[in-house]
Amino acid sequence: MKTIIMKKLILSLAAFFILSCSKNDEVTDNLQKQINTLEATINTLESTINTLTSNLSTTSNSNAALTNELAAAQIALTEAKNLADAATTDIEALQASLLIVNETLTAIDYSETISLGATGSLVDQTPMQARKIIYGKWDLGTPPNSSRSSARLNGCEFDFIEFMDDGYLLGIYVAEDDETQIVFGDYIMYENNAGKVESVHLTYDAGDITVDIAVLTNIIVTETNGSLSASFDVELTLPEALEVCEASLPGSVVAPKEDPLPEASTANAVSNHAKVIGKWDLISYTSTNVYAGPNGITETYSLDDLFASWCEGEGEDDTAVYDKSSSNSNKFPTSKKTANCEIPVRAILNISNFGTYSITLFAANGSVVDTDVSVWSWANIDQTALNLGDDEEYNIIDLDDNTFIMTATFYDYETLEDGTSVDIVATDTFVFNKTK
């Protein structure tokens, strides 16, 4: 009997110690998860402060109040980092410090860190100041009643130019094709002996070499009755595909500045609007297509598949080609690779304050395969969903200063070989990293 009692006692004690250890492990794990979350918050807020400080340093006018606010946020952030580095972290104190940082940044208007209304002549500015003056989207299109309106009938004309932090988008309308061709690249500012901007060179990556396609001089931005306008001279050396346009494009232009999105003026410094603006590298893509019906199938596509689809067509003369294999009982249309087509290996998404976004595809040698430009806006006041292009709504899954994940569900149909159709539910997820 004593032996039995002792065995039960030993088992009970063992169970107690096991439960105690498990409970302690659970508490430790929970604390570690909190610390990991707070450390991620620290990284995000530190990146935000650095970005805002950098933006502030390049504005044409000093802002003492904003400088003081960022300094206070930096002090609180340093305290939080010290707490996080401590051997025994005071979670409550760490949370309190981060709350101070976030509240300080939330009170800062995003518009205070960017120069949406900067003016001046570039020959009087340093490169950092000049970037703020030309920043934005400028309407280069010909007014309907202008004497140059005939360009739309027989030649080319400038459509728009948008300057971002270091890149540009140039739209040129080609009458022969009745469409606007997009040129994308970086711009470089050349200085005179006094360190002021003498000219702005638009570069284009041709693969083996990077060439200047345009040199802008005498750039002046003025304000009249609250509206901004830019004037400049332009000397063109367009790539081969647009050489035909050089003769019909003017050597001097005057361009009004388009209005930014409302959120560019109303959002705070840690809003989703402030975070999403910029250049993003596409690093992952997943698409799941579910076909309805008893013989329905599920197809999953990756980023490699997305790039490969750039060179896929439906067959000769755009007629559908159907898979006759036994594994495809529904006889869904298939695709074939277009001859002499170079599959892209990289995609960059660029989202601007002026309601435009661009997707640029790059070949393995770094040259631009294609650039597509469309419009975007926020789908809700919470800034958790975007409208891209034709009211295609994408929900934001994650967004900080380094990572951007969005997803969308679409409804479509596919025509089968027998003429009937089948419904498709497609879910696309895109993962981006901020381009450094």
pTM, to two decimals: 0.78
> Is the pLDDT at 366 greater than 70, yes or no?
yes
Average pLDDT, integer, range 30-57: 75
From the list 352, 206, 210, 344, the residue with the least C-alpha distance to 279 is 352
- Per-residue pLDDT of 59-109, as tens digits, reads 545 577 778 878 888 888 888 888 777 756 678 888 888 888 888 888 888
Q: How many domains are contained in the chain?
A: 3
337/333 Cα distance (integer angstroms): 14
Residue 140 C-alpha from the chain's centroid = 24
User: Domain containing 38: what range?
Assistant: 2-108
DSSP H helices in 154-278: 263-266, 272-276
> Do both 322 and 198 map to the same domain?
no
86 backbone dihedrals φ, ψ, rounded to 5°: -65, 150
Query: Do 213 and 270 fall into the same domain?
Result: no
Q: 31 Cβ partners below 8 Å, 6+ apart?
A: 89, 91
Residue 58: helix, strand or coil by DSSP?
A: coil
Residues 299 and 397 placed together within one structural domain of the fold:
yes
End-to-end CA distance of the chain: 74
The torsion angle over the Cα atoms of residues 292, 295, 300 and 306, rounded to 10 degrees, is -80
Same-domain pairing of 308 and 411: yes
What are the Cα distances from residue 215, in Å, to 56, 108, 161, 252? 28, 37, 13, 11
What pLDDT sits at residue 394?
A: 96
Whether residues 253 and 160 fall in one domain: yes
Domain C-terminal end among 229, 259, 289: 259
- Beta carbons within 8 Å of 299's beta carbon, 6+ residues apart: 288, 289, 291
| Residues 383-423 pLDDT 10s | 999 999 877 899 999 998 889 999 999 898 888 777 778 89
Neighbours of 12 (CB within 10 A): 10
Model pLDDT, residue 336: 58
Q: Tell me how crowded residue 14 is: count the other CB atoms within 10 A of its CB.
A: 10
Q: How confident is the model at residue 7 (pLDDT cuts 50, 70, 90)?
A: very low
397 inside domain: yes
Same domain, 30 and 101: yes
> Which of 259, 291, 313 marks a domain boundary?
259
3-class DSSP state of 266: helix
